[in-house]
Amino acid sequence: AQKITQTQPGMFVQEKEAVTLDCTYDTSDQSYGLFWYKQPSSGEMIFLIYQGSYDEQNATEGRYSLNFQKARKSANLVISASQLGDSAMYFCAMREGLGMRFGAGTRLTVKP
């Protein structure tokens, strides 16, 4: 079974600064993908970024980038130039069986 660990229950960041949200994982699969989702208080689970285990470059998507270190089994999300609208829960996830296994999440609060 996959295991996802997010060790930061809550994080604060000043508006316009960058923040890194940590994620480590454990899997015996050779080919796998790592996903990050954002969940605002409204409840919607919004897909942010994906990293494949065989991708040679770190994924980037606008202000989001993924610091993928395969040997360390870590896939940290970096959000640059934080905005007030970035305040939300952030989940790291992997496909497991037919569904997704999510980490416990990190609640990010952006301060004005």
Partner 1 sequence: ETGVTQTPRHLVMGMTNKKSLKCEQHLGHNAMYWYKQSAKKPLELMFVYSLEERVENNSVPSRFSPECPNSSHLFLHLHTLQPEDSALYLCASSQEFNFATDTQYFGPGTRLTVL
Give the residues lining the site for partner 1 (CB under 8 A): 29, 31-33, 35, 37, 42-47, 50, 52, 94-95, 97-104
SS3 62: coil
Min dist. Cβ of residue 15 to partner 1 (A): 26
By C-beta, is 64 or 102 nearer to partner 1? 102
Interatomic CA distance for residues 1 and 45, integer angstroms: 23
Phi, psi torsion values for 92, nearest 5 degrees:
-95, 145
CB of 45 to partner 1, least distance (A): 4
Amino acid, single-letter form, for residue 64:
Y
